Amino acid sequence: MEHNTGNIILYDTTLRDGAQTFGISFSLQDKIRIALELDALKIDYIEGGWPGSNPKDNLFFSEIRNASINHAKIAAFGSTKRPKMKLAEDELLQNLIQSNAYTLTIVAKSWDFHVTDALNITLEENLNLVYDTIAYCKDKGFEVFLDAEHFYDGFKANSDYAIKVLESAKKAGVDMLVLCDTNGGTLTHEISSITQTVCSSFTTPIGVHHHNDAGVAVANGIAAIINGAISVQGTINGYGERCGNCDLTTLIPNIVLKLGCHCNAESALEHLTETSRYISEIANLAHNEHAPYVGDNAFAHKGGIHVSALKHNTATYEHINPELVGNRRKVIISELAGKSNIQVKAKELGISLNKIQLSETILRRIKVLEDQGFQFEAAEGSFELLIRKSNGEYTPFFTLKGFRVITEKNESGKVSCEATIKVEVDGQIEHTAANGNGPVQALDNAMRKALESFYPEINELQLSDYKVRVLDEKEGTGSPVRVLIDHKRHVDHWGTVGVSTNIIEASWQALVDGIEYMLLKTRNNIKH
């Protein structure tokens, strides 16, 4: 059959489903930063979380209203009202309404087994819950999607009832019916057949939501589109519970470049790799360098016949031009590695490469730093400073003469930290000390104390996040570490990075870059 090449709607659930990944714990600021990045990628819907399930999600929906979201619609996730409870008295449903999100996504049981054994209600009662909840939300003026949980398993077990759940939602005025493979075990041929059956039976738009427990979530998303679905829900980097969700960084280029489908993210496809890396840094997880399209090794070539063939025609060993997705060709034995990545990031930061002239010195410097473990995708402050310093258009605002950090633990078990620091500003030496809960805070406090008389705006600078990643687990406590710090001043945010075998030194590098970057913007009147 001829598949739909019209505008495919992309619905991202990184902030909810993705947050259920083992090892991920997004802060409120993390969620805001990710939402802004997804919006820049032209994702159509951003699901912010489940209002009422935790305080952080409640804050997200209030804070995101003040953020500069230019394209995406914000969606809130919730469930049908609880049995034997009035709509107006169901606290979770009311929290959903009060989120004031543009779209409310209601999850409902569509597998008869779950209705009778999990909810412990009759099949008819469940249909009423679906209708009543969606009709109530529609009456409140919201766009409403139905996430039909376990739909594919439910369809295989009792297709008549699974369809009745969709019909109940349709009668209530639902705006989209989303078929979920919640257990992630349905294979692609079954997805194709069932999705086609549903799409041919309903005029209501059909979306899909696939988990990756059988390793075919992206393939299932593609199959659903081929068979009539117009929307796919997924996460960046495939984050999600258990084996994850449909990976949008693989799905998007597949449907655009391979299927010939259109979506709004098509216009921002060259930012796909940096978005993938940015979010992996925010998640504080190592980026999957073997990931299709966005991995550092996705277009990597060693010596031998591959490199020889590439010199004549890159299509010999590359299925697409890596620059289409913002990635780079990585020929291990050449100096090409790094150039494309620098250009993409510099463009995002508003730095004109025509003026900067990427010399061989800058390229070699970037390559050395990357080999040491530096990653600049979520450290735009450090990256911009590096480029401007290398180009000779930036002079540091202060010079370190030395610092000392002392950590002491007494017999009672109390730990105290003190840092002393000496800096020079315009020929003046400032020597001071400060305490802190830990060595990094003590050093930060001492540095601020030494600089505040020269640069009063330093008191407006906040450290909003601090992450540490071990770079070589085989070295144990002697491993080099990467420190990523998120800084905030008023409404502006920027990241900085430091790498060292000494965690204090790595933290110092990131702290200094954070202050230098702020002063660069405030003193030189450069926009963030």
- Please give the residue that has the higher pLDDT: either 20 or 319: 20
**Rounded-to-integer distance, Cα 333 and Cα 335, Å:** 7
- Predicted confidence at residue 298, as pLDDT, reads 82
Residue 41 has pLDDT above 50, yes or no: yes
What is the pLDDT, as a whole number, of residue 313? 55
pLDDT of residue 358: 57
Question: What is the rounded CA–CA span in Å between residue 12 and residue 17?
Answer: 9
The pLDDT tens digits for 87-103 are 999 999 999 999 999 99
Q: What is the pLDDT of residue 210?
A: 98
pLDDT at 523: 82
Instruction: Check residue 125 and give its pLDDT.
Output: 96
Q: Is the pLDDT of residue 314 over 70?
A: no
pLDDT at 367 over 80: no
Alpha-carbon gap, residue 213 to 204, rounded angstroms: 28
- Residues 203-218: tens digit of each pLDDT: 999 999 999 999 999 9
The pLDDT of residue 321 is 87
Output the pLDDT for position 13: 98
Structure-model confidence comparison of residues 377 and 126, the more confident one: 126
Confidence of residue 277 (pLDDT cuts 50, 70, 90): very high
**In this model, does residue 363 exceed pLDDT 90?**
no
Q: Is the pLDDT of residue 337 over 50?
A: no
Residue 373 has pLDDT above 90, yes or no: no
Q: Tell me phi and psi for residue 140, to 5 degrees.
A: -80, -5
Instruction: Residue 425: name the closest of 451, 459, 388 by CA.
Output: 451
What percent helix, strand, coil does the chain show, rounded to 5?
45, 20, 35
Per-residue pLDDT at 111 exceeds 50 = yes
Distance CA(218)–CA(519), nearest Å, equals 45
Q: Out of 3-7, 53-57, 507-511, pick the least confident.
A: 3-7
Mean pLDDT for the chain?
A: 89
**Of 175 and 308, the one with more pLDDT:** 175
Task: Please compute the mean of the pLDDT values over residues 335-360 and round it to a whole number.
Answer: 55
Determine contact, residues 176/205, Cβ cutoff 8 Å. Answer: yes
By the 8 A CB rule, do 274 and 377 touch? yes
pLDDT at 389: 83
pLDDT reported for residue 7: 92
Contact 207, 175 (CB under 8 A): no
Assign 336 a pLDDT band (cuts: 50, 70, 90): very low
Q: Which residue has the higher pLDDT, 357 or 83?
A: 83
- pLDDT exceeds 50 at position 180: yes
- Going by pLDDT thresholds of 50, 70 and 90, the confidence category of residue 339 is low
For residue 40, give the nearest of 495, 348, 384 by alpha carbon: 348
Q: What is the pLDDT of residue 395?
A: 87
Would you state the pLDDT for residue 376? Answer: 76
- Which tokens sit at 91? 């606290």
Q: Return the bridge partners of 255, or none.
A: none
- Which domains are assigned to the chain? 9-259 (3.20.20.70), 398-454 (3.30.160)
Q: What pLDDT, on a 0 to 100 scale, did the predictor assign at position 360?
A: 63
Given this model, what pLDDT does residue 332 score? 43
pLDDT in tens, 401-438: 999 999 999 888 899 999 999 999 999 999 999 999 99
- pLDDT band with cut points at 50, 70 and 90 for residue 359: low
Question: Which tokens hold the place of 45?
Answer: 């819907």
pTM over 0.85: no
Q: What is the mean pLDDT of residues 103-131?
A: 95
**Whether the predicted pLDDT of 201 surpasses 90:** yes
Share of the chain above pLDDT 90, in %: 71
Would you place residue 526 in the very low, low, confident or very high pLDDT band (cuts 50, 70, 90)? low
Q: How far lies 426's CA from each of 70, 388, 395, 420, 508, in Å?
A: 43, 20, 12, 20, 21
Closest by CA to 502, choosing from 481, 484, 485, is 481
Model confidence at 527, pLDDT cuts 50, 70, 90, reads very low
Q: What is the pLDDT of residues 379-388, one digit of tens each?
A: 888 988 988 8
